[in-house]
Structure 1
Amino acid sequence: MPIVAPPSQLRLVAIPRLASGGRWRVEAMRSLSEPCLLWFTKGQGRITISGVTRGYTAHNAIFIPAGVMHGFEAGPQVFGTAVFFGREPKVVLPKTPQHLRIREVHAQQEVNVLLDSILRELESDTPAHDRATEAYVGLLGVWLERQVRKADPLEAPRQDATRRLVARYTALLERNFRTGMNVADFAAALGVTPTHLTRCCNAACGRPASALLQDRRIFEARKLLAETRIPVGRIAEQLGFNSPAYFTRAFQHVTGKSPTAFRRAG
């Protein structure tokens, strides 16, 4: 069960519950305003971070800094815990995304115990439970730092020119997806041709640059439709679509529903 807390505070959420409002909430490209740790204990799938797709399995720990675009498959057989650290975490965390395959049984048990302890203290009303929570979160940060330091360099994705370009594209996209910029605009800003950018995106994650852009914009549209009462036309304007009609066509192409029908179904 998720811990009920303001977005600025620490929360632990079972990974299956992240998709309880629709798998689009985890699978579509988006970013968070806080760092997140995904600890998978069962199942497998693919995760895309900064435009690079890799497979994940049980006993994978994936750290995603705030503001980094990502999305991952969350099928019915995937289990684990997501740790949301809040917008101003006190714990020391990595500055860059990390995908760690934790093979040592002792390390797997250690993080499971830490997560159980954090959850227990969050749910507790015993004296000093807040300080105990902070201490366990600090130990989680130490565990993560140690795993990063001893990770096999061969496990890390090679940061070749293709992946560096795609990472730059997704970072630029995350900052500007509301502006109405198209792939040609992003390519020009990056100093490459649209064809080259699309080729690199296909190589890094199996999707063209346009699909990443559309996925990010439609995720934001779905979120606004599901969580606010902002009129459809206003949402289209906020996300840089040329007209409400064009927004409706693009939304329906991705989701199979019109914006109005999607909001009504929610």
Structure 2
Amino acid sequence: MTAPSIPEAVPAGPGLAASAPAKPVSAAFGMRPALREGRPVARQAGMRLLPLQAFIWGSRAMPPQPRTRTDHTLIWVTEGRVQLDFPRDHFVLRAGDLRHIPAGTAFAAIPSAGARGHVTLISVALAAGAQPPLPERGLGAHVGTHAAQLEATLHELAVETANPDPGALSCLMNLLSLRLGQLMPDRPPETTDEVAPDLPLIERFLALAEQQLGSARSVAELASDLGSTTGTLDQACLAARGKRAVELIHDLQLERAADLLRHSNRPTMRIAAELGYSSHAHFIRSFVAATGRTPDAFRAQAC
């Protein structure tokens, strides 16, 4: 589409404008793909990564009207604003906001002048095997303290898609989906009169829980250390993340387990013990339920 309101953008095909032609990402040792500035990268293997300022989507009308995409779209704003229009809803994404738009959804996206961020376009085929699956109805969230981990995962995906290995891509998709599940969900306008989430308590709880993974301490003990109660902590977790405190601890365990499996040679029995699982079998059951693979199979795919 043409975009007269943003003169620096050059059309790159129907509905998509880019600041310059896409070039392959260098996979040389020590090099990382530039996601913050520059050009679209990594068109191979069913995934494309674009700088936000190079992405405009919608009809040729001005302003663009919602138009359907056949891939999943992940929009993460790090600076500025993005106008996001659906047939019946309109949103403004600001710095720190993230939106997952499922394939087949009609929408229009227009970044403001000076907007920065990341856009990830994921093919249906690549996303189909993700465990846990990408949200069927999309996701509106705040990245918050997860920015560094999320960006690192996107960088790894960019490197892998430059020279794709199906097994590694599958594992990285699983990790991306798991990280998205960790984000704080956006709160719709009609719920703004409810009790606001206790963000300081949430942040202190997650930091303490991560620090003491493997100690097998109960939620009640952690809540007591934070000067709270189990009920108050659960309410804060449900309001901020949509999950109870014990479920968030399980998510932290799984995320740490995935990192250890990918970046260390520690035996799975040792990982289970270090992360506070009651047994090796319990670790395997939990990992399979979350990722669809055993820990050994996950590690074997060279993630």
Work out which structure has the larger RCO, using CA pairs closer than 8 Å and 6 or more positions apart in sequence. 1
Q: Please tell me whether Structure 1 or Structure 2 has the larger radius of gyration of its CA atoms.
A: 2
Structure whose residues are more often helix by fraction = 1
TM-score (norm 1): 0.49
